[in-house]
Amino acid sequence: MSTQPKLDNWLPRKRKGKEPPSLPPPDPGESAAKLLRDVEQYIRRYVVLLDHAYLPIALWVLATHAVQVFDCFPYLAAVSAVKRSGKTRLAEVLEALARKPWRGTAPSPAALYRMLEGAPTLLLDETEMFNAKNKSETALILLAVLNAGHRKGATIPRCDGPRHEVKDFPVYGPKFFAAIGRLPDTLLDRSIIIHMKRRSKSQPVERFRLAKATAEAVPVRERAAQFALSHAADIERAYQELLDADLKFLNDRDADLWTPLFTLCAVIVPERRPELEKCARILSAAKAGDDADDSWALTLLKDIKAVWPDGQEKCETSELIDRLKLLEESPWLEQQLTPRKLARTLRPFEVEPRQIRIADRTVKGYRYDHLQDAFDRYLDEKSETCETSQ
């Protein structure tokens, strides 16, 4: 039997014939800031993370209780290079604290459609299966659902019932993923990424006894539910103000993802906004680095900019390839980069090799001004994010 407070059946709006649930009144001596500290402390008891991860995760937990206020809700993803790095433990901790949780691995599509009604907090383990080269039909369907579910109002049409009538299933809601390696690019783009490592012997944590730890979390979760209900107007107002102000230090997608967390911060602990901004810069820069490092096209574009001859407007294709292969830890030597591969990789950026004149020769090559638009669109934003994270 779920210990989740009855508040979950009330949000996001009053239903006909129902009154708001009766929850215990908050302790007059307790502040919202103390609630946030208690959530942070509970996470710290059982999971070792980098310092800049605790505050965002705690705010994410509290934001799940007000999920219907937001037009877009960030996914949270824990990734690691190897197993036994604390990802499943983090999922168990979030299950104890978040609104209406469901934790498991690879639900069937039919089960997923039905369980997502009401915007529960979905906690999925072993999501590296979505990286398989030849994905099963089930994996493709699940991935399509997850790709849509960060936006409020998103639905998936499916035939339902004995008459196979088309029904739109809502898929919006908080979602957590745990994966070894990395997530598919589509999920990566919708997530706040937490990189996890195995803890050292000098980093002890309390042993997680499921029944005991879950029972201890119930009062904290109920206080979070009460806070979301009693401060709904404040959260809505802060959200609208943030949408108007925008988080200009982040790119458009990351600004969408982080806005719910900054909203809760503005309502609960506005004095901690600089701390949260620093966390957002660090985590967003790390994600941008992951994205660029895993994309051959973006890596090639970045490396071309790095090796382009100083002060030259044009560069011969053969010279450019030679320069790329000489880069330290260059992937282009073992990738056997050829003029044809170079042209094919740059084509999506609307960059093509041209006949150019160098000294007294006419050769195939590239012009820097033709590459400039691609540099501006795809590299500057990531570079700026990385620089501000220092």
Sort 177 into a burial class: Cβ within 10 Å, 0-12 / 13-18 / 19+.
Answer: buried
Residues of the chain with pLDDT > 90: what percent? 54
Specify the CATH class of 295-387 in words: mainly alpha
Among residues 259, 264, 262, 277, the alpha carbon closest in space to that of 234 is found at 264
Is the distance from CB of 239 to CB of 69 less than 8 angstroms? yes
Distance CA 340, CA 334 (A): 16
Domain ranges of the chain: 6-14+27-284, 295-387
Give residues with Cβ within 8 angstroms of 216, minimum separation 6: 42
Distance CA 365, CA 97 (A): 58
Q: What is the CATH number of domain 6-14+27-284?
A: 3.40.50.300
pLDDT in tens, 285-335: 888 766 544 467 888 898 999 999 998 999 999 999 999 999 887 788 777
φ and ψ at residue 65, rounded to 5 degrees: -80, -10
Among residues 242, 275, 274, 234, the alpha carbon closest in space to that of 258 is found at 242
pLDDT in tens, 177-188: 999 887 888 898
Distance CA 230, CA 200 (A): 41
Same fold, 6-14+27-284 and 295-387: no
Residue 345 has pLDDT above 80, yes or no: yes
User: What is the reported pTM?
Assistant: 0.72
Among residues 13, 56, 7, 268, the alpha carbon closest in space to that of 176 is found at 56
Distance CA 375, CA 253 (A): 19
Is the distance from CB of 203 to CB of 195 less than 8 angstroms? no
Count of other CB atoms within 10 angstroms of residue 157 = 9
pLDDT in tens, 62-108: 999 999 999 999 999 999 877 888 999 999 999 999 999 999 887 88
Mean pLDDT value of segment 268-281 = 96
Residues of the chain with pLDDT > 70: what percent? 88
Average pLDDT value for the chain:
85
